[in-house]
Structure 1
């Protein structure tokens, strides 16, 4: 009886990446998601449920206490303010700025990008050329200039950051919409006489939402870093209101004597940005099916 030849694997089959195990994919998603949720809960609920003092108006008799002092887990600053309290309240400000800026960018930038790609023609050319001009300028430099001209405040910080987040989101939305425009279901909906606004809300937005959400997760970390830089330079959230950036700026004056004033807010900033970046990458991997 003749032996049956074993099938020969093709090059594509050999080179095809092995699918990741389900538990690894779930772990890579739920760990950063849990860390992100922990940061939000700590900053917004921590000051309410934990027995910690207010972030300002501390007792000068308890100034510059080291970490793990009784009643002050992370110590106090030279004004007697509790560092843990200031980190949690500063996290509130940073997260509020990041969420607000990204929501504005998603709403305005996503709408501009989707409309630009769907309508096309001169509308697409005008919108994208204006956005290209904005992207061509160094966003951090222009953000500093806008913040300097408007003055340091929470509202002005949000405005300055949101203004320069719109072009990037718009380009992502445009690219995602262009890939949808020629698909059969879009053509069928147009032939059925579906109005443009219904096409946008029912067919385009749900399909480009994963890309925009993933991009916004990465944008959250970027906004938090830039907000920290603005506050560090005195152009963001003004003192005595706490912000991770202005806490690092205040602590650098006595860095050699009391490094805790810089270490703790820097660590909070690092963990938060890392959590958002890992979450954004996990969402991208999850939705791409890799």
Structure 2
């Protein structure tokens, strides 16, 4: 614990103000994300809200704060709060799966490419460069269109978008680590490539990949919402923030809250992930 002086000049003990600010910058968005996750995964189990589908048309277009429907209902009489929570669950599952696959596959390819070098490095990176050369959203749309709308196909389509980015970050970090003395010592001791990758490279590369994954969470959520908005992600009547916005924009002038509520959920979630990712980047970079 650092020793600092009070206003009167007497020394006091306490963490530096800058450290406390950094901790707060990480804690606040992390708590927000935890609350969003708890609401989406546990909310439908404990809150007295109806199912996200199967509503009655007799209760369609109920306004916000109606009895039994805190955020109102959609054109089919489905509860908007229930659909937002279930849609958030789908978005978080897709985002975690895409970033998890991107981190594992892309991280492994980048580390392997940077560690082996030579022909292996050239082949792996040129293949990834081909994927990066395509406009990302166009590539995702093409893959999603060819596979068809579903949660699994959305994950596969978005994984094409994430793997090359993770691989390049992992390779760059691996190339920097190759110059470190502990890497040279491990190679001189005859340590196998697999052990070097797992015991020496992975712990040092992983923080950078996790930081990028946090920033990528928001991007993936937005792209998943765009795919669902276009009818290429989560198909109706299953809830998704994207298809809820698409449904609401058909009657935007008469019932704007059908669009406002899922947009607010999307905005808050993406903002929380971006703030957490930026705070982690600052912490691990020492800024």
The one-character-per-residue Cα deviations of 1:249-275 (angstroms, maximum 9, x if unpaired) are 000000000001000000100011111
Alignment of 1:84-103 (within 5 A): 84-103=81-100
Relative to structure 1, is the Cα distance of residues 262 and 148 closer, same or farther in structure 2, using a 3 angstrom cutoff?
Answer: same
Local SS of the residue matching 1:41: helix
Of 112, 116, 139, which aligns to 2:113? 116
Q: In the alignment, is residue 125 of structure 1 matched against residue 125 of structure 2?
A: no
* Cα distance in 2 between the residues matched to 1:227 and 1:156: 11
Match of 2:251 in 1: 254
* Structure 1 position 29, deviation (Å): 0.6
Alignment of 1:17-36 (within 5 A): 21-36=18-33
Alignment of 1:91-240 (within 5 A): 91-240=88-237
* Structure 1 position 59, deviation (Å): 2.0
* Cα distance in 1 between the residues matched to 2:207 and 2:143: 31
* Structure 1 position 181, deviation (Å): 0.6
The one-character-per-residue Cα deviations of 1:186-238 (angstroms, maximum 9, x if unpaired) are 11111111100000000000001110000001111111000000000000000
Match of 1:10 in 2: none
Of 14, 38, 45, which aligns to 2:35? 38
* Cα distance in 1 between the residues matched to 2:31 and 2:254: 35
* Structure 1 position 142, deviation (Å): 1.1
Aligned-residue CA RMSD (Å): 0.9
* Structure 1 position 247, deviation (Å): 0.2
* Cα distance in 2 between the residues matched to 1:142 and 1:232: 17
* Cα distance in 1 between the residues matched to 2:17 and 2:207: 20
Structure 2 residue ranges without an equivalent (≥5): 1-15
* Cα distance in 1 between the residues matched to 2:20 and 2:65: 38
* Cα distance in 2 between the residues matched to 1:72 and 1:179: 55
Match of 1:47 in 2: 44
* Cα distance in 2 between the residues matched to 1:131 and 1:240: 36
| Superposition TM-score, scaled by structure 2 size | 0.93
Aligned length: 272
* Structure 1 position 20, deviation (Å): 6.0
The one-character-per-residue Cα deviations of 1:127-172 (angstroms, maximum 9, x if unpaired) are 1111111101101001111111111111111100012210000000
Match of 1:8 in 2: none
The one-character-per-residue Cα deviations of 1:24-58 (angstroms, maximum 9, x if unpaired) are 11111100100111111110000011110000001
Structure 1 residue ranges without an equivalent (≥5): 1-18
| Superposition TM-score, scaled by structure 1 size | 0.92
Q: In the alignment, is residue 245 of structure 1 matched against residue 242 of structure 2?
A: yes
The one-character-per-residue Cα deviations of 1:108-143 (angstroms, maximum 9, x if unpaired) are 100000000000011101111111111011010011
Local SS of the residue matching 2:191: coil
